Structures are given as C-alpha cells and as structure tokens.
Amino acid sequence: MIKYALFARLEAKPGKEGDVEKFLEAGLAMARDEKTTPIWFALRLSPTTFGVFDAFENEAGRQAHLTGPIAQALMAKAPELFAAPPSIEPIEVLGLKNAAPAS
C-alpha cells in the first residue's frame, strides 16, 4: 500500500520559470527509472511556484528517493533555478485512488 510521500515546493527565480518547467520534465524521465517511486507528479501551483509530489510503498523507498539522482539534480540546480531552497516535506498518505485511464 502507498503510505509514504513527499511534497517539494519550488519557487522559481524571476525569468527562470521555463527552465524550472524543463527541469521537471527531465525529472519525469528519471522518476520512471526509480523502481521504488511508483507515483510522481510535477506540478505548477502558480506562474512562479512549482511542486513535486511523489509517493512510495515504504520508508525505505522514500529514503532511497531522497538520496537518489532526482534529489541530487534538484539540489545541484537549486542555486541557479530557485529563489529559495526547495521546501521538502514528508507526508503520510491516508487514502489513494489510482485508476488507470481506459485505453
């Protein structure tokens, strides 16, 4: 069961919104390669505020994600792209509906 999650809030530097969007698109490709990250969303919350929501089956998966390639890339790009350090919050999932779209 998916019970563990993270939410990262990212505030783009002025003029860097497009770069943040491209960075998050690249993050999706990396997330697809993470076996312990079954759910990953990149979000735009406002013109300059972005977010990432990802969820895991266990704490080990969440910790692997926090030390994995996406987190490393995020922290490496943070000074260039973000007005403030990313805010990353651990979250507990209380309920989930995940229906695959009809093909």
Token pair in block for residue 79: 């000074």
Q: Give the mean model confidence (pLDDT) for residues 61-77.
A: 94
Token pair in block for residue 63: 């910790």
1 band by pLDDT with thresholds 50, 70 and 90 = confident
* Per-residue pLDDT reduced to its tens digit, 74-102: 999 999 999 999 999 999 999 998 876 65
* Per-residue pLDDT reduced to its tens digit, 5-38: 999 999 999 999 999 999 999 999 999 999 999 9
Domains in the chain and their CATH numbers?
4-83 (3.30.70.100)
The pLDDT, as a whole number, for residue 98 is: 80
What 22-25 contacts at long range (C-beta under 8 Å, 24+ apart), as own/partner pairs, is 23/73, 23/77, 23/81, 24/50, 24/52
40 band by pLDDT with thresholds 50, 70 and 90 = very high
- The pTM for the full model equals 0.89
